[in-house]
Structures are given as C-alpha cells and as structure tokens.
Amino acid sequence: MATDEQQGEKLPMGALLALAMTGFICIVTETLPAGLLPMIGSGLGVSASLAGQMVTVYALGSLLAAIPLTIATQGWRRRTVLLLTILGFLVFNSITALSSQYWLTLIARFFAGVSAGLAWSLIAGYARRMVVPRLQGRALAVAMVGTPIALSLGVPLGTWLGGFMGWRMAFGLMSGLTLVLIAWVLIKVPDYPGQSSSQRLALRQVFFTPGVRSVLGVVFTWMLAHNILYTYIAPFVAKAGLASDVGFVLLAFGVAALASIWVTGRLVDRHLRKTVLASLATFAAVSVFFGFFSSSALAIYAGAFIWGLTFGGAATLLQTALADAAGKGADVALSMNVVVWNGAIASGGLLGGVLLGHWGVGSFPWVLLMLLLLSLVIASRAQVHGFTRGDRQSSQMVAGH
C-alpha cells in the first residue's frame, strides 16, 4: 500500500544514529547510579542501598508508563513525541544533578524512567518507518547500536567520570549530551504524522494478534535468562578467581555484542527465524559449558564472548519480529515489549538473588538452560506467526502487511 514513507534504497544513517544516541542515553541514564552508589549516598545523606533505589524507580517509571503513554500519543506527530522524551531526559537528569533532597532525586529518576519507557516504544517503529520494508531490519539494527555500546562502554565510562569529576557532574554531562541530541533530531530526523483514530488498534486487539504473544514469551524467557547471569556476573565469575576482573569479562561480552549487531543487521531481513533459533541454542550451549567449566578463567572469558555474540542482536531480532506480527499495532506491541523486557530485568534480579542465596552460583547455568529451552520451544512453534520461515519481506507480503 502507498504510505507517507516511500523512501529510497539507502539507510538514512544520520537519522538512525540519532535514534541510537537516544537509546544510549536511555541505558546510561538508567545504569549510571549503579557504579556511583557510595558517592551518591554520601552526597544525599543516605545509605548505598537507598541510593540504589534510583535504579529501581527508573525501571518502575518505564514499566508503568510505556503502554499508557504510547496509546495516548499514537495520534501525535512522531518527531514531537521523540523530542518530548529527550526533553524529559534533559529536565530530569538536570534535576538529579542539582538535587540535594533524596525524595526529589527519586521523583526525578521516576520521571526519567517514564521518558525512557516512551522512547523505547517509539525507536523501533520510527526506524522502520524511515526505510523501504526490505531494509527495516537493517535500519533497526543501526538504531539499536546505542544499547550494547552503553552497556559495554558507557556505564564504565560514566562510573570513571563520576569518580573523576563527581556524580553530579556525570548527570550534568548526560544533560549536555541531551542538548546535542535535541539539535541532532531537529536537523536530521524526518517527521511523520501519528495514526488516525481509524488506524489505531486497541491494546487487547494487539495482544491477541497472532504471533504477538509468542514473541513476547520469547522476550521474557530469553531476557530472564540473560539478566540472571548479567545481574549477578560478579559472584558468578568470582568462582574462577575473576572477582577483581568483572569489568574485563563484561568488556569481552560488550565487544562481542557490538560485533553481533553488525552480523544481525546482515541477517535479520532474510534469516530472522534461523538467527533467533541459533542465538537461543548457542546461549543454551554456553550455559551448559558454564555449568561444567565455571571455575576456569579462560572458559569464563570464552563463554562471555560467545554469550555476547548471541545477545547483541536480540533487541533487533525480537522487535522486528514483534512489529511484523503486530502490523498496524506495532507501536502498541512495542510498548508491551518495554514492559515485558523491564519485567524480565526485575525478575532476573529477584530470581537470581533467590538462587544465589539458596543454591549458590552453581545453580545459574542449569536454570538458564531450562529457560532457554523453553524459549526455543516457543520460538520453534511460532513458525506461521511470530518467527516465520524464510525472508521476512515475503512473509509480510503473504500476511498482507
């Protein structure tokens, strides 16, 4: 069908990288306090554990706001919504940098999370809209590149900057980056109209669209497995004598994740199903490998690198599959993805803590294996809707999207 986004055959790199920068700011803003807790606690006159709630309330804001705000802004022009989310980061990171009151800091963090929830619901659909259908997967891979960069490089850099110039200046620096991003979006990112009321699908309608629940099921099981290991990576690698080298293990993971983004960009449009199944199967194999060789430092580094290869493209693969399955309800489906993804992060922290406390790190690989096998079963069964066979372009044509 004719649309307002009949673009050429080239990727609009300037615009897509602006979306990647938005994702980078989302992730760094969320995780920055983790490396600065003692300093933040001292600055606000609270304990490090209370300072840690800055991460919790941010995730809560994303979780609660993603779906209602996405639905509320469906009819708004897309660039207006994007700029509002970025403006939210500017305002609330600035308040965090200046606040001397713990309660005010928590409120600012909650609303920064609200901004992130809306941003994550928007980025994938926006990236897909900029290009012709056969380039949508590759465009999303570029738009998501900020995430592994933030996870592997941004957080350690932010922690170092916080130690070097103080935690308040680290948040102030985030505000400065946001100002640059606002100008970048205004210059490079095209604007599109929102959906008319006749085009919009109800939340329930989107949820029960064939394939949507299957993809969300894979999102939850895959990300739950990932977050159990990622959240408790420090005690897990300590068994191999790497307690003081966690940063290097995560760097190996991050470098592989970045490489994976590039590989995924090449594969997502033609081999989405095979790439998802291969990623899950390989992560399951890494879990078994960790189960038998977790006391070997070399095995930990090798396993972390392969784990990174399976994870880097996950967001691109899963959001592409979800948007394809949802069709006109893509933005609403992607807001559900934000909720499920953040739910998996929170659940990973809770379940990992229970496993660590009761059975120790030795239980992690086998729990991961069970979750990943469940994920594989869900993905394997979703061959008609969700993770369809063959070229996703021809699958969309068959589905009539």
Write the DSSP symbol of residue 132. -
Please count the CA atoms within 13 angstroms of the CA of 105 that sit on its side-chain side. Answer: 24
Q: What is the pTM of this model?
A: 0.84
Question: Quick one: pLDDT at residue 106?
Answer: 94
In our burial notation (b when 16+ CB lie closer than 10 A, e otherwise), range 183-218 reads ebbeeebeebebbeeeebbebeebbebebbbbbbbb
Question: Quick one: pLDDT at residue 8?
Answer: 52
Q: Which domains does the chain have, with CATH numbers?
A: 13-188 (1.20.1250.20), 203-396 (1.20.1250.20)
- The SS3 of residue 145 is coil
Please count the CA atoms within 13 angstroms of the CA of 296 that sit on its side-chain side. Answer: 11
Are 122 and 82 a contacting pair, CB within 8 Å?
yes
CA dihedral of residues 242, 246, 249, 255 (deg, nearest 10): -160
Which residue do the tokens 């629940």 mark?
213
Residue 239: C-alpha distances to residues 250, 291, 363 (Å): 16, 12, 13
Per-residue pLDDT of the chain (401 residues; tens, 9 = 90+): 334 444 556 889 999 999 999 999 998 898 888 777 778 888 999 887 788 788 888 988 998 989 999 989 988 999 999 999 999 999 999 999 999 999 999 999 999 999 999 999 899 889 989 998 888 888 988 998 888 788 777 667 777 777 788 889 989 999 999 999 999 999 999 999 887 766 777 888 999 999 999 999 999 999 999 989 988 888 899 889 988 888 788 889 988 988 998 899 889 888 999 999 999 999 999 999 999 999 999 999 999 999 999 998 999 899 999 989 998 888 889 999 989 998 888 888 889 888 988 899 899 999 999 999 999 999 999 988 889 887 766 555 444 44
Question: Quick one: pLDDT at residue 212?
Answer: 95
Question: Quick one: pLDDT at residue 6?
Answer: 44
Residue 177: C-alpha distances to residues 29, 152, 161, 182 (Å): 11, 18, 14, 9
Question: Quick one: pLDDT at residue 221?
Answer: 97
In our burial notation (b when 16+ CB lie closer than 10 A, e otherwise), range 66-89 reads bbebbbebbeeebeebbbbbbebb
Q: How far apart are the first and last CA of the chain?
A: 9
Tokens read off for 90: 């500017």
Task: Provide, for the chain, the percentages of residues in helix, strand and coil under a 3-state DSSP scheme, each rounded to the nearest 5.
Answer: 80, 0, 20
- In sequence order, what are the residues at sequence separation of 6 or more whose Cβ sits closer than 8 angstroms to the Cβ of residue 258? 145, 148, 149, 152, 312
What is the identity of the amino acid at 342? N
- In sequence order, what are the residues at sequence separation of 6 or more whose Cβ sits closer than 8 angstroms to the Cβ of residue 185? 18, 79, 82, 83, 86
- In sequence order, what are the residues at sequence separation of 6 or more whose Cβ sits closer than 8 angstroms to the Cβ of residue 285? none
CA dist., res. 252 & res. 154, Å (int): 14
CA dist., res. 85 & res. 109, Å (int): 14
